[in-house]
Amino acid sequence: ILNVEQSPQSLHVQEGDSTNFTCSFPSSNFYALHWYRWETAKSPEALFVMTLNGDEKKKGRISATLNTKEGYSYLYIKGSQPEDSATYLCAFILTNAGKSTFGDGTTLTVKP
């Protein structure tokens, strides 16, 4: 079983704060990493697909970086808003695997 770890498990910030969380994964046989946003009572929705070492992706106030050699990815949220409150999942895909392994997620709560 692959070990995909996300930290912290939960995070409470004030509106306007910037924040970041980490996804750690095995550094060998990397194929791709996906970030998802999962709002309460909804289903996960994809944020980013990351495939190359050094990748940086951005969508509005949210961005992500990837380091495949050391086995981690960071997700950053600049100027958090209450609507950013959600669980953020990362999913690691191995070379030659037909499936993703998900971390347990980081749950972000942004207080107005």
Partner 1 sequence: NAGVTQTPKFRVLKTGQSMTLLCAQDMNHEYMYWYRQDPGMGLRLIHYSVGEGTTAKGEVPDGYNVSRLKKQNFLLGLESAAPSQTSVYFCASNDSRNQPQHFGDGTRLSIL
CB of 67 to partner 1, least distance (A): 19
Asked if residue 44 has a cis previous peptide bond (ω within 30° of 0), the answer is: no
Q: Which is nearer to partner 1, 63 or 101 (CB)?
A: 101
Burial class (CB in 10 A: 0-12, 13-18, 19+), 88: buried
Query: For residues 53 and 25, is the Cβ–Cβ distance under 8 A?
Result: no
The least CB distance from residue 84 to partner 1, in Å, is 19
Gap between the Cα atoms of 46 and 62, Å rounded: 12
Binding residues (CB under 8 A) for partner 1: these are 1, 6, 31-32, 34, 36, 42-46, 49, 51, 89, 91, 93, 97-105
Least CB distance to partner 1 at residue 55 (A): 13
Using CA atoms, how far apart are residues 30 and 19, in angstroms rounded to an integer?
A: 26
Please give the backbone phi and psi of residue 98, each rounded to the nearest 5 degrees, phi first.
-95, 15
The residue among 17 and 49 lying less far from partner 1, judged by its C-beta, is 49
- In angstroms, give the least distance from the CB of 108 to partner 1: 15
Nearest to partner 1 of 41, 112 (CB atom): 41
